[in-house]
Amino acid sequence: MSPRRVVITAGAGGIGRVTAEAFAAHGDLVHICDVDAEALEAAVASHPGISGSICDLADRAAVERFVPAAAERLGGIDVLINNAGVSGPTAPVEAMDPDAWEAVLAVNLTGTFNVTRLAIPHLKRSEHGVILILSSVGGRFGYPERSPYSVSKRGLLAFAETLALELGDDGIRVNAIAPGGVDGERIQRVLQARAAASGRSLAEETADALANQTLKHFVDPADIAALSLFLASEHGRSITGQTIPIDGGSKTAK
C-alpha cells in the first residue's frame, strides 16, 4: 500500500506529530497543517516524507486553501486523520462564555467537518480511502465544567458514524479514536498546576487523575499512532463506523 498519501491536521506537535512521523517512517507521504509556524517547521524538518502548511481550522477560507493544496502536493489523498482540537475553558455551563463555547466548536467540530467535506472527493478516487477522527474520553462520557470540549468530541463520534454510512459504498472506512489522558509535557504542566493550587504532591495529583482508569498510566502518543497505522492498514479493512477507546479502561472523563 505504500506510499500512501496522508493528511493530518494539527500535525506539528503531540499526537499529531508522533502520528505523522509514524506514517512517514512506514514509507508514506504525509502533509500536515498546524497554527504554530515554529513547530510546523520543526516537524517538517524531522523527516523528508513530511511536508506542511499553516492552517487555522477555525478559518473556513484557510481550510479551503489547505485541503486542495495538500492534495496537489501529495498527488491525492488516501488517508485523512482529523487530529486538530482545542481544550477550551473550564467553567460550569451557567458561567460559560458563549464566545468561548463557539470557539471550541469552530475548531473541534466545524473545522473537522470542513476538512473532511473537502477531502472526500479525493478519498473517493483512492483505492483504499480511510478517515480517522480523534475524539476523546471526554466525548464518551459527560465532562463536568468542560461542556464545549465534551459536546464537540461527542459530536465527532456521530460524525464518524454518519460518514461511515455515507461512504461505505465508496470503499472508504471511517473510525473514531478516543484517547484518555495522554502522557507528555501538557498533562505534566496541568498536574503541576493542580499540585501548586491544592498543596498536594505531584504524585498525589497524578494518582487522583488516574483514579478513573483501570490501568494506572497515561496513554503513550506512540500507541495512538500505532492504532492509527493499524486502522489505516489492510488489517483494518473490515472495521468502520466504530469508536475505539485507548484510555487505560477509563470509566469517566476527568
Q: How far apart are CA 103 and CA 125, in angstroms?
A: 33
Is the pLDDT assigned to residue 2 strictly greater than 80?
no
Sequence ranges of the domains in the chain: 5-182+220-246, 183-218
Q: Which fold has domain 5-182+220-246?
A: Rossmann fold (3.40.50)
**pTM of structure:** 0.96
DSSP structure class, residue 107: I
pLDDT at 16 (0 to 100): 98
φ/ψ region of 42 (left if φ > 0, alpha if ψ in -120 to 50, else beta) reads alpha
State the pLDDT confidence band at 185, using cuts at 50, 70 and 90: confident
- Given 149, 163, 175, 191, which residue is catalytic? 149
Q: Which amino acid is at 41?
A: E
pLDDT at 211 (0 to 100): 94
Q: What percent of the chain has pLDDT over 70?
A: 100
Is the pLDDT assigned to residue 1 strictly greater than 70?
no
* Residue 1 contacts residue 128 (beta carbons within 8 Å): yes
In this structure, the chain runs to a length of 254
pLDDT at 204 (0 to 100): 95
Q: How far apart are CA 49 and CA 81, in angstroms?
A: 16
Q: Is 149 in the active site?
A: yes
Task: For residues 107-133, give the mean pLDDT.
Answer: 98
Strand 29-34 with 50-54, pairing: parallel
